[in-house]
Amino acid sequence: MDKIIVEGGKRLSGTIPISGAKNAALTLIPCALLTEEPLTLRNLPRLADIDGFQHLMNQFGVTTAIQGNRPEDFGRVMTLETPRVTNTVAPYELVRKMRASILVLGPMLARMGEATVSLPGGCAIGNRPIDLHLKVLEALGADIELAQGYVKAVAPDGGLPGGDYDFPVVSVGATENALMAAVLCTGTSRLGNAAREPEIVDLCNLLVAMGAEIEGIGTSDLTIHGVRRLHGATYRVMADRIEAGSYACAAAITGGEVLLEGAKAEEMAATLHALRNIGVSCEAEKGGVRVAADGKLKAVNLSTAPYPALATDMQAQLMALLTVAEGTSVLTETIFENRYMHVPELARMGAHIETSGRTAIVHGVSGLTGAEVMATDLRASMSLVIAGLRAEGRTEVRRLYHLDRGYERLEEKLALVGAAVERVGDE
């Protein structure tokens, strides 16, 4: 297992190219199941989760070809073709490694009239049930059964009729599964309290490019008029707003100035609002978002919530920044029940944080010291890198496979803006 070594204290300055969004790519790729024609996705990030999803799609008989883009470029182009689906089962050994695999349930059901997917199980940040995925597919007319750790969804003869469903809780994944099933229903479907994240908009834009009819894109009320078939498309994945927010925190904690190339301010408004309140200047400009800090950071209170509120995926990174702000910050994590595993690791670097349930109280300290720390989940591992960029001395972040799930060539991007960061094989 690799580890990253960070020598803290370097002020970041320059331009960081932002990659395609992992959480958009993971719902755009399964759309290849919805048509026999080629689907070409551009700006796909080079990430372990994308490779994993490509492998899963191959199990169903989907051919995938990577083309274009020199190795030194960020991102790549993938063309997926599904003239015939040869298998409708997503097996445990693949799903357990990547819970986003559950996103094949809706499109496979829509294309084949049936789908069998291993239950994903929990993960480090929470038990992450999929009850809403199943309830909304039932509302669209599917028959759902659970047996031996698998969920099996079957459409009535003649295909899914469609239907209405009001989500009791906003769920990104369940909204995505519902959209990918509803587009091929024989009737019209309406989704209430649907997720509105930019990644959902990206999915709707791709589905429309493939011939789907969707109203209310970008709102929490979606109406989908089913169509008989969808055609292929070529589509560019949106920029990763969480990656951009993560590098904004990295620049800010070093008192640096960085242009987040390709980032869209309007997609990360809540993060930029939080950063401005902390004392970081954030300006949209042609080609990206410019972030600059002068080293003085102020404590703020933050609460995560569904879009357009502050993304839960930004909580750990902002907490790292707040460990060295002046004053005491109160963070509330309203989405996942166990998303503070970065706290004990940050404490080993000298941070002063108390947690109780979903609340974390961050008492700003004057500085951090480097330490050997352990990544526990994707965003927690990024928060440790961010702290390491500020800490005095050397920080070693282990179990990098967490980081590689969501950050394309992180050490190269940080080195572009002057960080002293190195990736080494672990003993």
Residues contributing to the site for ligand EPZ (CB under 6 A):
23, 26, 100, 126, 128-133, 169, 171-174, 312-313, 335-336, 378-379, 406
Please give the Cα distance from 64 to 122 (Å, whole number): 29
Inter-residue contact 136 to 167 (CB < 8 Å): yes
Angle formed at CA 146 by CA 141 and CA 147, multiple of 5 degrees? 145
Q: How far is the CB of 128 from ligand EPZ (least distance, A)?
A: 5
H helical segments located in 198-266: 198-209, 241-253
Q: HEC states along 335-357?
A: CCCCCCCHHHHHHCCCCEEEEEC
Q: How far is the CB of 172 from ligand EPZ (least distance, A)?
A: 4
Q: Exposed e or buried b for every residue in 249-260, given b needs 16+ CB within 10 A?
A: bbbbbbbbbbbb
Distance of CA 83 to the CA centre of its chain: 29
Residue whose CB is less far from ligand EPZ, 3 or 196? 196
Please give the Cα distance from 50 to 55 (Å, whole number): 9
Beta bridge partners of 363: 328, 352
Residue whose CB is less far from ligand EPZ, 5 or 94? 94
- 385 residue type, one letter: V
Q: How far is the CB of 315 from ligand EPZ (least distance, A)?
A: 9
Please give the Cα distance from 34 to 232 (Å, whole number): 9
Q: How far is the CB of 365 from ligand EPZ (least distance, A)?
A: 26
Residue whose CB is less far from ligand EPZ, 171 or 383? 171
Other residues' Cβ atoms within 10 Å of the Cβ of residue 412: 14
Q: How far is the CB of 164 from ligand EPZ (least distance, A)?
A: 18
Residue whose CB is less far from ligand EPZ, 44 or 297? 44
Residue whose CB is less far from ligand EPZ, 28 or 275? 28
Residue whose CB is less far from ligand EPZ, 131 or 326? 131
Exposed/middle/buried for residue 219 (C-beta within 10 Å: 0-12, 13-18, 19+):
exposed
Distance of CA 414 to the CA centre of its chain: 20
Please identify which of the residues 123, 185, 204, 249 carries the catalytic annotation. 123
Q: Is 123 a catalytic residue?
A: yes
Q: What is the DSSP letter of 326?
A: B
Q: Which residue has the tokens 């759309």?
A: 31
CB under 8 Å to 213, separation ≥6 — which residues?
A: 183, 224, 225, 227
Residue nearest to ligand EPZ (CB): 173
- Radius of gyration, alpha carbons of the chain: 21
Inter-residue contact 146 to 179 (CB < 8 Å): no
Residue whose CB is less far from ligand EPZ, 129 or 327? 129
How many Å from the N-terminal Cα to the C-terminal Cα in the chain?
Answer: 8
Residue whose CB is less far from ligand EPZ, 133 or 409? 133
Other residues' Cβ atoms within 10 Å of the Cβ of residue 118: 19
Q: How far is the CB of 351 from ligand EPZ (least distance, A)?
A: 21
Q: Which residues are catalytic?
A: 123
